[in-house]
Amino acid sequence: MAAISRDEVAHLARLARIEMSSEELDHLASELDQILHAVDRVQEAAKDNVPPTSHPLPLKNVTRPDVVVASLSPQDALSGAPASDEQRFKVPQILGDAE
């Protein structure tokens, strides 16, 4: 059975606002399916006595003190932005299609 359907890929593409052609969907659905099947092998190792983890190290309560450190200058912060205006990141209109 496929681990991910073509419809699910189309849905994810929509959530990520990525336009995909029918051919691209076919192609990607099959590729993602293979990847997911490969990752599925982890499940074989994860027996009942192996608790799920979200972190490779057995750490907890790693915190930092509430002390201000220097921020980037706005110039540096914006230096990687494709576009900026009024010292802000400029992005294309969003959600227009959803409303």
Q: Among 21, 44, 67, 82, which residue interacts with other proteins (rule: CB under 8 A)?
A: 67
Place of tokens 């890929």: 9
Collapsing DSSP to helix, strand or coil, 85 comes out as strand
Residue 72 is a binding residue for other proteins (CB under 8 A): yes
Q: Which residue, 22 or 54, has its beta carbon nearer to other proteins?
A: 54
Q: Among 43, 51, 59, 82, which residue interacts with other proteins (rule: CB under 8 A)?
A: 59
Rounded Cα distance between 78 and 84, Å, is 7
Residue 82 is a binding residue for other proteins (CB under 8 A): no
Rounded Cα distance between 76 and 78, Å, is 5
Rounded Cα distance between 33 and 28, Å, is 8
Place of tokens 């099947």: 37
- To other proteins, the closest distance from the beta carbon of 70 in angstroms equals 8
* Binding-site string for other proteins from residue 7 to residue 46, where x marks contact by CB under 8 A and - marks none: --------xxx-----------------------------
